[in-house]
Structure 1
Amino acid sequence: MATEKLGIKIQRNPPDSKLTQLGVRNWPKWSCPPSKFPWTYEAKETCFLLEGKVKVTPTGSNESVEIGAGDLVEFPKGMSCTWDVSVGVDKHYNFE
C-alpha cells in the first residue's frame, strides 16, 4: 500500500512481484555516503532503496519525509528538495 506525503509516494517493503513487474533489478544503481545536498528532479524518478536512511525535505516545506531500505519511492518531476542522508544510500533508480 503506497502512501503519499508532500508529493512523494512511498511503498514500504513492496512484494517481489511488484519489483519484478517494474524491472527494478535491471535499473542502474546509485549510492552515496552520509551527506546533505540539494536536488531538483528534472523528470519523475522511481527508486528502490537497498540500503540507507534519508530525510527528504521539499523546498519551502517545514516537513520532511523519511525513507529507508526496502522503500519504493516516487518523486514528482520538478520537485526541489534537500536530501539529508544519515545512513549511506544504495539504490536502484529509474527516470521517466
Structure 2
Amino acid sequence: MNNVIEKLGLKIIRNAPEEMLTELGVRQWTIWSCPPSEFQWIYGSKETCYILEGKVKIIVKDESVEIVAGDLVVFPKGLSCTWDILVAVDKHFSYA
C-alpha cells in the first residue's frame, strides 16, 4: 500500500510503485539535477516529479516536509516555497 502524505499543499507518494511510474511515463520525463543549495520557487503551473536521488526540505511559511529518493510529489500551481537541498538531488519532472 502506498504511503500518501498531503502536507503544505503537496501530495507525496512515498516509495511510488513501478506500475504507477510506468503508467505516468515518468522515465521519459526530463531530468533536473541540483547540488546542495537553497532557493525560493513559485510554481507557475502544476508540477509532478519523481525523486531519483537526494534529500530536499520543502519549506512553506514556517512549516516543512522532506522529500527523498522514491517519492512521487505533486506541487500545485501557485505554490510559493523554499527548496533546501540537503543532499544533491536528481528528479524526473513534468508540468501538467
Runs (4+) of structure 1 exceeding 2 A deviation are none
Q: Report the alpha carbon displacement of residue 62 of structure 1 after superposing the two structures with TM.
A: 1.1
* 1:89 match: 89
3-state SS in 2 of match to 1:42: coil
CA distance in 2, matches of 1:70, 1:46: 13
CA distance in 2, matches of 1:6, 1:38: 15
Residues 27-59 of structure 1: CA distance to partner in whole angstroms, max 9, x if unpaired? Answer: 00000000000001000000000001000012x
* 1:66 match: 66
CA distance in 2, matches of 1:3, 1:89: 20
Gaps of 5+ in 1: none
Aligned residue pairs total 94
Q: TM-score scaled to structure 2, two decimals?
A: 0.95
- Work out whether 1:55 is the aligned partner of 2:57: yes
CA distance in 1, matches of 2:94, 2:78: 15
AA aligned to 1:34 is P
Identity percentage of aligned residues: 63
Q: TM-score scaled to structure 1, two decimals?
A: 0.95
Taking only aligned residues, the RMSD between alpha carbons, in angstroms, comes to 0.6
Residues 54-94 of structure 1: CA distance to partner in whole angstroms, max 9, x if unpaired? Answer: 00012xx2110100101000000000100000100000000
Gaps of 5+ in 2: none
- Work out whether 1:32 is the aligned partner of 2:34: yes
